Chains A and B, each alone.
Chain A
Amino acid sequence: MSWLLTLLFRRLPIGWLQLTHSRGRFIAAVSGVAFANLLVFMQLGIMGAMNTSTVAPYSLIRTDIILSSEDGNTLTDAGHIPRARMFQALGVPGVATAMPLYIGNLPFTLEDGSSVSLLSFGVDIAKPGFTSADIAADLDQLSIENTALLDKGTRGMPDFVIKGLEAGTRYSFETGGNTLTTIGTMDIGGGFLADGMLVMSDQTFLRVFPKRSSGAPNHILIQTEDGVSTDTVITRLQAALPGGNLRIQSVEGSADNDLTFMATERPTGIIFGFGVFMGILVGLVIVYQVLSTDVADHLREYATFKAMGYGHRFFLGIVFEEAIILAIFGFVPGLLVSMGLYAGLVAATGLPVAMQVSRAFLVFLGTLIACSLSGAIATRRLANADPADLF
């Protein structure tokens, strides 16, 4: 290692030798950086899972524009919108087709007494173009009353239910006096939103949610004609539809808004953001402590080097060398332990927590920057190395 660094720096790797000479301090510093990395990775992992969960239901629908009520927060936490808007929208040039989307949370109690909440989507089975391809293929079967597709990733369901469905065995359960029969599966992944998801026909939806009315869906999905830009149609819709309590967004804009809402207006998002901040702060403080103590401990040696003719840049080099060594040696175990914990989280909760290369890279970059920043602050102590005091 020392040899490699000598070749790299074309000088003795003083920082490396100094850090590894006091092994206890080195281990403490590296653990500190690793711990800070772990904190940040866990927060980002859960935040990422939250984002994945938030936008997961979008994979269920195919649309260009979404009309929603302003009362709503996200796709699945939405207000109601008069179905009359759909008919008005259909009269706007550039609008090809439209479909109301009904969303509700269906709680039900399993045979073993545990309860599960299933996010349910009611769609128009006559318009398969509005659902994702694999759901659209099964849409015909949903014309039978009280049938639904169940998400494979549903938590809390007995194992045999999903396996049975995949093998063609239906599964029925009671909910609010109705019998709902799941006849197939789909692959969405519920995550934070619910234990699982159901897709059913709007007819079935209105039966299992008796308080909901067909005149008040949660969203109206609009597909535009070929050759007309989404933005143009949105502008026309804004002009044509009565204002007030109406949000007209492209599907991408809607997903972005959902993410922003979850990150900034939900306490969980804010808490996780704060967690990342704390992790960075912990790392900064630890690295600063270690580096500035290290500088203070070596003032005499540095003063000697100054007397020998080493310039300020050489000393900055040592401190940054140490900062980068701490960043690298702290990051690697931090990443490995985080990946282990991610796997544990997935096994325990089924949340879509996954390490992305981009996240690892970003955190590494952040670690380098934070360590260098701490190093930069620590170098202020170098001024105390005065060679005149040596004799």
Chain B
Amino acid sequence: MPDAPIKTLGLNHFFGSGDARKQAMFDINMDITRGSLTILMGPSGSGKTTLLTLIGCLRDVQDGSVQVLGQEVRGASEAMLVSLRRRLGFIFQAHNLHESLTATQNVLMGLQVHGGGDPVRQRTAAHHILDLLGLADRRDYLPGNLSGGQKQRVAVARALVSNPEIILADEPTAALDKESGHNVVKMLKTLGDKRGTTTVMVTHDPRILEMADRIITLEDGRIVSDTHP
């Protein structure tokens, strides 16, 4: 296990082509320590999401280097990217649950991506994480019958159930009330401490900032501050 599960070097990124070509990331250099909780901040349009998708192997790296879990992402094969993504957990701003699957089944999707496995154990693991997130009595509900906060917690459960080495979260608490938002982040923080899970999270919530190991602020695609509170 490398000490810096996420590493960028001279990372630039451009959107559009020809006259419309516009640079969105400028020379991003950072090393993120294993087991830490890093908060990305910055005004809207500053490039937080773009950076997260680059780290998450969801967007082609055009210029510079991104290393995730010791593997260079730039120019990596599709198969390599797929296997890297399996070791990450994503929590999106929108819950992105599958509306035809129950809470348990949605969580199972996070486990079955690894293929095979004992179905009974998988089910137990899915139930366990749903219980932890306070959804014990909502296991077999379809997303359509859950509140916004409950859906977001199912999405968190789906991201956490396979014990990812890195969690990338983009404003995961936006759809939650203060209390449960705080709980989710506390859980992520505990995971980091106990299992060494590395978390990078975009948020504006000041109460969460207190829990952060590191706060990186972006502006117009550049890192303008990088603190360890």
* A, B: real partners: yes
Residues of A that sit less than 8 Å from B by CB = 6, 10-12, 14, 17-18, 20-21, 298, 300-301, 303-311, 387-388, 390-391
What are the 3 closest A-B residue pairs judged by CB atoms, nearest first? A309-B86, A21-B100, A309-B85
- Inter-chain contact total with CB atoms closer than 8 Å: 74
Q: Are the CB atoms of B109 and A391 closer together than 8 Å?
A: no
Q: Are the CB atoms of B98 and A301 closer together than 8 Å?
A: yes
- Shortest Cβ gap from A205 to chain B (Å): 72
Q: Which residues of A contact B119 (CB under 8 A)?
A: 6
Of A10, A12, A20, chain B has the most CB atoms within 10 Å of the CB of: A12
Q: Are the CB atoms of B108 and A12 closer together than 8 Å?
A: yes
B26 lies within 8 A of chain A by Cβ: no
Q: Are the CB atoms of B101 and A12 closer together than 8 Å?
A: yes
Can you spell out 25 A-B residue pairs with CB atoms less than 8 angstroms apart? Answer: A6-B119, A10-B116, A12-B108, A12-B112, A14-B101, A17-B100, A17-B105, A18-B98, A301-B97, A301-B99, A304-B92, A304-B96, A305-B113, A306-B85, A307-B85, A308-B85, A308-B109, A309-B113, A311-B82, A387-B53, A388-B53, A388-B58, A388-B59, A390-B92, A390-B94
User: Which of B53, B82, B94, B116 is in CB contact (< 8 Å) with A309?
Assistant: B82
Of B93, B105, B112, chain A has the most CB atoms within 10 Å of the CB of: B112
Task: Give the complex CA separation of A301 and B101 in angstroms.
Answer: 11
Inter-chain pairs besides A12-B112, A14-B100, A17-B100, 7 sampled, C-beta below 8 Å: A12-B101, A17-B101, A298-B98, A304-B98, A308-B90, A311-B78, A391-B53
User: Which of A10, A18, A300, A311 is in CB contact (< 8 Å) with B96?
Assistant: A300
Q: Are the CB atoms of A391 and B92 closer together than 8 Å?
A: yes
Q: Which residues of B contact A12 (CB under 8 A)?
A: 101, 105, 108-109, 112
Task: Give the complex CA separation of A11 and B114 in angstroms.
Answer: 11
Task: Give the complex CA separation of A310 and B49 in angstroms.
Answer: 21
Q: Are the CB atoms of A301 and B112 closer together than 8 Å?
A: no
Q: Which residues of A contact B223 (CB under 8 A)?
A: none
Q: Are the CB atoms of A390 and B96 closer together than 8 Å?
A: yes
Q: Which residues of A contact B100 (CB under 8 A)?
A: 14, 17-18, 20-21
- Shortest Cβ gap from A257 to chain B (Å): 56
Task: Give the complex CA separation of A305 and B82 in angstroms.
Answer: 11
Closest B residue by C-beta to A386: B58
- Shortest Cβ gap from A43 to chain B (Å): 36
Q: Which residues of A contact B96 (CB under 8 A)?
A: 300-301, 303-304, 390
Closest B residue by C-beta to A20: B100
Query: Per-residue CB proximity of B61-103 to A under 8 Å, as 1/0?
Result: 0000000000000000011001111111010111011111100
Task: Give the complex CA separation of A336 and B83 in angstroms.
Answer: 47
Of A20, A307, A311, chain B has the most CB atoms within 10 Å of the CB of: A307
- Dominant secondary structure of chain A at its interface with chain B: helix
User: Which of A18, A20, A308 is in CB contact (< 8 Å) with B113?
Assistant: A308
CB proximity to A under 8 Å, residues B94-131: 94, 96-101, 105, 108-110, 112-113, 116, 119
Of A6, A11, A308, chain B has the most CB atoms within 10 Å of the CB of: A308
- Shortest Cβ gap from A15 to chain B (Å): 10
Q: Are the CB atoms of A305 and B109 closer together than 8 Å?
A: yes
Q: Which residues of B contact A17 (CB under 8 A)?
A: 100-101, 105
Closest B residue by C-beta to A7: B119
Closest B residue by C-beta to A18: B100
B56 lies within 8 A of chain A by Cβ: yes
- Shortest Cβ gap from A313 to chain B (Å): 10
- Shortest Cβ gap from A47 to chain B (Å): 41
B156 lies within 8 A of chain A by Cβ: no
User: Which of A14, A307, A309, A387 is in CB contact (< 8 Å) with B98?
Assistant: A14
CB proximity to A under 8 Å, residues B114-172: 116, 119, 158, 170
Q: Which residues of B contact A311 (CB under 8 A)?
A: 78-79, 82
User: Which of A11, A300, A303, A391 is in CB contact (< 8 Å) with B93?
Assistant: A391
Q: Given A12-B109, A300-B96, A308-B85, verify A391-B49 contact (CB < 8 Å).
A: yes
User: Which of B83, B86, B108, B170 is in CB contact (< 8 Å) with A391?
Assistant: B170
Task: Give the complex CA separation of A241 and B93 in angstroms.
Answer: 90
- Shortest Cβ gap from B46 to chain A (Å): 14
Task: Give the complex CA separation of A12 and B79 in angstroms.
Answer: 22
B52 lies within 8 A of chain A by Cβ: yes
Of A11, A18, A20, chain B has the most CB atoms within 10 Å of the CB of: A11
Closest B residue by C-beta to A11: B112
Q: Given A12-B112, A390-B96, A391-B49, verify A307-B101 contact (CB < 8 Å).
A: no
Task: Give the complex CA separation of A300 and B56 in angstroms.
Answer: 17
Task: Give the complex CA separation of A287 and B229 in angstroms.
Answer: 58
Q: Which residues of A contact B158 (CB under 8 A)?
A: 308
Task: Give the complex CA separation of A250 and B179 in angstroms.
Answer: 91
- Shortest Cβ gap from A309 to chain B (Å): 3
Q: Which residues of A contact B56 (CB under 8 A)?
A: 307
Q: Which residues of A contact B59 (CB under 8 A)?
A: 388
Q: Which residues of B contact A21 (CB under 8 A)?
A: 99-100
Q: Are the CB atoms of A308 and B58 closer together than 8 Å?
A: no
User: Which of A14, A301, A305, A307 is in CB contact (< 8 Å) with B58?
Assistant: A307
- Shortest Cβ gap from B81 to chain A (Å): 9
Task: Give the complex CA separation of A177 and B96 in angstroms.
Answer: 88
- Shortest Cβ gap from B199 to chain A (Å): 15
- Shortest Cβ gap from B131 to chain A (Å): 20
